[in-house]
Amino acid sequence: MASGILAKQNNRSSVYRSICVRAVVAILDVILVGPLFLMAFLGRLIPKSRDIGIGPVPIVCSQYYKKALVSAGYTVETFTDSIWHHTDDFDLRGDRLFPGVLRAARPYALMAWVLLRYRMLYIYFDGGPLRVTTWLWRFEPFMLHLAGVRIVATAFGADIHVLTRTTNRLFVHQMGRDYPAHRLYRRRVSAKVDLWTRFADHIVAGVDWIEYLYYWDSLVLAPFPIDTDRWSPDHRRSPATTPVRVVHASNHRGVKGTDAIIDAVGQLESEGVEIELEVLENVSNKEIHDAMCGADIIVDQLIIGWYAMFTLEAMALGKPVICHIRRDFVEMYEAAGVIEKEELPLIDATPATIKEVLRDLVRDRDRLTEIGQRSRSFVETHHSIATASRRFDTINRALGVTPASK
């Protein structure tokens, strides 16, 4: 009884704190809207010290975007307003500059920084520094344009998941299990997709995002590049080693089909199949790298219908990857000329087929080596830093932004 009362009190306190924080942010929006527009005007008049800023969502691929742009000659900085568990490698961290009670100042200070410092901003559909404000985020593109900042928008996942737009009802079901609060933000997510679709200077689409976006300027399989030097084939694991080691990263258990993977491997083990599974959860990018190097097979996701960063890292290591690939997406990318017919080297599986797919791969170990080699070649062609560098440079120059040193 006492614990139940305490839990209710804690929950009530959390709600009160949240309301107070939102109230403070709403007041700051009113107070600072004028100064920020003035800052934007000043930003238009003064020369910028950096070509490109990338942020503020704290995701790993921002570093890969930076490397691709730097290799094309641009001066680039990554910045973030917070930190997630998998990486803290950013040039500017708002959580360090404005810790604790000062956190309410982060979006406004970072916005001023962006308006005065960058000629171009690479953002996600969640928005720029003002993404966490109460209503001021709606004016963000106007401030950026006033400051002469060109905007390239792409996605990372949840920022474009307007779940009324997808035909993948199993994905909708699992999102409800993994992230029940996501339903509360549908209108906000939809509004941001509309805002940046209308006002970004260039939109880069790919992955399964094509089901949620209704316009793009560039279409790619996945916009994030992979560092093929860091993620290079590791031959410490012999193709003949038993048991076959399967590695799966479960950062979204439901939408990745983690339980189905665990069940499938468990059943195969009970039947005497020489196979073992390592599930990675809440670990650093370095730990993921080390575990994948020692794997024979990588399993990404069984429900979403396309691949993303984890698959790219595995393919760059020369590993065969199991990942559900929707046939309609494949046909669309082939018809658009993004890939050749039957070029994609991924092994398709769903929760219903994963057990037999794994069984067949264990029986045919030579096939693993061949698929791994094809995977590495595919990444070098479509997702390398060099490929992304050329792609981004073309976009930037079309928007009138060239490296300041050139």
Q: pLDDT digits over 13-62, tens only? A: 555 666 666 787 889 899 999 999 999 999 999 999 999 999 999 988 89
Question: Is pLDDT at 112 greater than 70 in this prediction?
Answer: yes
Residue 185 is which amino acid? Y
CATH of domain 31-225+387-398: 3.40.50
Give the contacts of 352 (CB within 8 A, at least 6 positions apart): none
Of 399 and 101, the structure prediction assigns the larger pLDDT to 399
Pick from 11-15, 57-61, 145-149, 285-289: least confident: 11-15
CB atoms within 10 A of CB 393: 19
pLDDT at 314: 95
Question: Is pLDDT at 8 greater than 50 in this prediction?
Answer: no
Q: Which residue has the tokens 């004028």?
A: 34
**Bond before 56 cis per omega within 30 degrees:** yes
Question: Is pLDDT at 204 greater than 90 in this prediction?
Answer: yes
CATH of domain 244-383: 3.40.50.2000
**Structure letter (DSSP) for residue 47:** P
What's the farthest any 2 CA atoms get from each other in the chain? 71
Size of the chain in residues = 406
Domain with CATH 3.40.50.2000 in the chain: 244-383
Angle formed at CA 174 by CA 172 and CA 180, multiple of 5 degrees = 85
Alpha-carbon distance of 395 to 383, in angstroms, equals: 16
pLDDT at 14: 57
Strands (E), 98-189: 118-124, 150-154
pLDDT at 102: 79
**Structure letter (DSSP) for residue 157:** S
Alpha-carbon distance of 109 to 361, in angstroms, equals: 53
Spatial CA neighbour of 81 closest among 99, 101, 69, 65: 99
Q: What is the pTM of this model?
A: 0.90
What are the distances in angstroms from CA 118 to CA 64, 88, 145, 269, 348?
18, 22, 12, 55, 42
Residue 103 pLDDT level (bands cut at 50, 70, 90): confident
pLDDT at 251: 74
Q: Which residue has the tokens 């799966």?
A: 248
Of 284 and 403, the structure prediction assigns the larger pLDDT to 403
Question: Is pLDDT at 262 greater than 80 in this prediction?
Answer: yes
